[in-house]
């Protein structure tokens, strides 16, 4: 993919963007849920919609292993479940993967403007890479932060702060795009302005977004001018 060369980060860019992946770049929540339910069937664990929403939704695999499976099957087995579930999910979702409308167009505009962009997700790296590869936007990101690179995932701010550090942009000048409770709280904890994308979100989660700069169904109505206004 041909993209405009990135600005040298030593030039200290004025602002930057941090994008969540699941539910933000792509509307894939039902495939994550389906993958966990399928894993439950394979291992005789009663995972259904209610169990998923209460115990698994929006958590990293590591947190799920500690919080859910550690007592049930042991931590080592619980961690292996996360790996197996990831493989099931990618097999299910890759053939039907589609962007949330307007996303790649916005990314390409930001890239042409030399605005640094980062992806930051509680998901394991293979899941993130699949999305970036299938949308053909890998070269548009100068930082990718996954759950293996931080001690604590969202809602802890570490992930977003690590992305800001890699891009050499002050946290207050990084605009976060999110869709989940853990993402809203992580942005708030990092003291970063954030915008909510709602089409891939659990609608019950939206009430937990405290003072977002804006809410948009997708990226088709989000403009560069509005992004710049978030920093004023």
pLDDT recorded at residue 63: 87
Structure tokens at 101: 């409308």
Query: What is the percent of the chain with per-residue pLDDT over 70, rounded to a whole number?
Result: 95
Q: Which residues of 72-96 are buried (b: 16+ CB within 10 A; e: fewer)?
A: eeeeeebbebbeebbebbbebbeee
Looking at the structure, do residues 72 and 173 belong to the same domain, yes or no?
Answer: no
Secondary-structure percent of the chain, ordered helix, strand, coil, rounded to 5: 50, 10, 40
Contact 26, 100 (CB under 8 A): yes
Q: Is residue 108 part of a domain?
A: yes
Instruction: Print the domain residue range for 205.
Output: 9-27+99-229
Looking at the structure, do residues 114 and 148 belong to the same domain, yes or no?
Answer: yes
Using CA atoms, how far residue 224 sits from 49, 118, 213, 221, in Å, is: 38, 17, 13, 10
Tens-place pLDDT, residues 26-78 = 999 999 999 999 999 999 999 999 999 999 987 888 889 999 999 899 999 99
Question: How many of the other CB atoms lie within 10 Å of CB of 4?
Answer: 12
pLDDT recorded at residue 77: 94
Looking at the structure, do residues 148 and 70 belong to the same domain, yes or no?
Answer: no
Looking at the structure, do residues 89 and 118 belong to the same domain, yes or no?
Answer: no
Looking at the structure, do residues 109 and 221 belong to the same domain, yes or no?
Answer: yes
Distance between start and end Cα atoms, the chain: 34
Contact 225, 203 (CB under 8 A): no
CA–CA distance, 118 with 46 (Å, rounded to integer): 36
Checking if the pLDDT of 3 tops 70, the result is no
Contact 78, 69 (CB under 8 A): yes
Q: Which of 65, 95, 125 is the last residue of a domain?
A: 95
What's the mean pLDDT when you consider all of the chain?
93
Tens-place pLDDT, residues 77-113 = 999 999 999 999 999 999 999 999 999 999 999 999 9
Q: Give the mean model confidence (pLDDT) for residues 168-181.
A: 97
Looking at the structure, do residues 106 and 206 belong to the same domain, yes or no?
Answer: yes
Q: Give the mean model confidence (pLDDT) for residues 9-19.
A: 84
Residue in 197, 205, 155 with CA at minimum distance from that of residue 178:
197
Q: Distance of alpha carbon 158 from its chain centroid, rounded?
A: 14
Contact 182, 122 (CB under 8 A): yes
Q: Is residue 3 part of a domain?
A: no
Looking at the structure, do residues 145 and 162 belong to the same domain, yes or no?
Answer: yes
Strand 194-197 relative to strand 214-216, pairing: parallel
Residue 158 pLDDT grade (very low, low, confident, very high; cuts 50, 70, 90): very high
pLDDT recorded at residue 178: 98
> What is the number of domains present in the chain?
2
pLDDT recorded at residue 162: 98
Measure the CA dihedral 210/211/212/214, to 10°.
130
Helix (H) or strand (E) holding 133, with range, is helix 125-134
Structure tokens at 3: 């993209």
Q: Give the mean model confidence (pLDDT) for residues 218-227.
A: 97
Tally the C-alpha atoms within 13 A of residue 52's C-alpha that lie toward its C-beta. 17
With tokens 């493989």, the residue in question is: 87
CA–CA distance, 171 with 190 (Å, rounded to integer): 7
Looking at the structure, do residues 77 and 167 belong to the same domain, yes or no?
Answer: no
């Amino acid at each position: 993919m041909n993209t405009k060369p990135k600005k040298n980060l030593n030039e200290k860019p004025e602002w930057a963007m941090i994008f969540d992946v699941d539910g933000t770049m792509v509307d894939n929540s039902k495939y994550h849920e389906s993958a966990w339910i399928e894993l439950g069937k394979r291992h005789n664990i009663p995972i259904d919609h209610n169990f998923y929403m209460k115990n698994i939704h929006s958590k990293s695999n590591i947190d799920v292993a500690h919080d859910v499976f550690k007592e049930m099957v042991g931590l080592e087995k619980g961690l292996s479940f996360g790996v197996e579930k990831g493989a099931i999910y990618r097999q299910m979702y890759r053939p039907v993967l589609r962007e949330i409308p307007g996303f790649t167009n916005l990314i390409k505009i930001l890239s042409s403007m030399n605005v640094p962009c980062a992806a930051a997700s509680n998901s394991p790296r293979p899941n993130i890479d699949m999305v970036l590869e299938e949308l053909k936007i890998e070269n548009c990101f100068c930082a990718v932060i996954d759950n293996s690179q931080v001690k604590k995932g969202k809602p802890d701010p570490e992930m977003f702060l690590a992305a800001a550090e890699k891009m050499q942009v002050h946290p207050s000048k990084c605009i976060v795009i999110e869709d989940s409770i853990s993402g809203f709280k992580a942005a708030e904890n990092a003291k970063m302005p954030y915008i909510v994308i709602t089409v891939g979100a659990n609608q019950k989660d939206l009430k937990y977004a405290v003072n977002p700069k804006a809410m948009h169904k997708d990226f088709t109505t989000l403009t560069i001018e509005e992004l710049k206004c978030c920093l004023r």
